[in-house]
């Protein structure tokens, strides 16, 4: 219940904050779907949430990476992750929808989209966060086969932990320097003053409040 309330509060806050950008995202999504013969997720809340993630990705990274995955740091793979990603065709043909359920096969029913959404929510919210003494360890998550990336990735885990802990997350442990750099961007967007250290083959991002002069 606590997590659901926190998510709803964050969602409606973002809907208002990005109300102009949401219309822009809606335009290209529907244009692309029409051109390729795809259907678009018909459920307002998850469709809007996916558009919010695309907006936030553009603001953080300058490109609209797939809502489900943060950039990997590998330029060739990251090109494939720009939405609409390089995996849309294969995934819609094999699974009915792309991984994030934004696009589906032509004529895909509302019930079939709902089934895909349940799978997505289980991947991103069904996994218990590894939090001890205010520190989140993002490593060791399942790997998405086509992309070779963690699900959920460090960025999604950290966003969820910050929401659950009402911002009281002191440090995050990640596997790569690219992930650490993304968390610095995230932290700064939330008024924090993140720093990165290297410990025992991994990277630790300290999420301290911004120091005021």
**For 178-192, how does the pLDDT look when each residue is reduced to its tens digit (9 = 90+)?**
999 999 999 998 889
The predicted pLDDT at position 12 comes to 85
Strand 135-137 relative to strand 171-174, pairing? parallel
Strand 39-40 relative to strand 192-199, pairing? unpaired
| Residue 7 pLDDT grade (very low, low, confident, very high; cuts 50, 70, 90) | confident
Domains assigned to the chain: 14-125 (3.90.460.10), 131-209 (3.30.110)
For residue 197 the two structure tokens come to 């250290």
Helix (H, G, I), strand (E, B) or coil at 111: helix
**Residues across the chain:** 213
Helix (H), strand (E) counts: the chain: 8, 9
pLDDT digits (tens, 9 = 90+) for 18-58: 999 999 999 999 999 999 999 999 999 999 999 999 999 99
pLDDT digits (tens, 9 = 90+) for 103-143: 999 999 999 999 999 999 999 888 899 999 999 999 999 99
pTM: 0.91
The predicted pLDDT at position 3 comes to 66
């Amino acid at each position: 219940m606590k997590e659901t309330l926190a998510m709803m509060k964050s969602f409606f806050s973002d809907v208002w904050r990005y109300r102009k950008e949401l219309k822009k995202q809606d335009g290209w999504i529907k244009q692309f779907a029409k051109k390729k013969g795809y259907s678009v997720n018909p459920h307002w809340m998850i469709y809007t949430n996916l558009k919010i993630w695309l907006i936030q990705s553009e603001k953080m990274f300058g490109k609209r990476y797939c809502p489900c995955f943060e950039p990997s740091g590998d330029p060739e793979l990251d090109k494939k992750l720009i939405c609409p990603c390089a995996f849309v065709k294969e995934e819609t043909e094999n699974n009915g929808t792309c991984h994030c359920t934004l696009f589906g096969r032509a004529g895909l029913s509302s019930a079939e989209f709902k089934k895909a959404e349940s799978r997505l929510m289980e991947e991103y919210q069904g996994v218990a966060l590894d939090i001890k003494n205010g520190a989140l360890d993002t490593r060791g998550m399942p790997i998405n086969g086509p992309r070779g990336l963690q699900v959920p990735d460090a960025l999604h885990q950290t966003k969820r932990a910050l929401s659950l802990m009402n911002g009281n997350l002191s440090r995050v442990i990640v596997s790569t320097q690219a992930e650490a750099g993304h968390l610095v961007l995230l932290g700064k967007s939330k008024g924090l003053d993140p720093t990165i250290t290297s410990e025992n083959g991994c990277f630790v991002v300290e999420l301290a409040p911004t120091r005021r002069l």
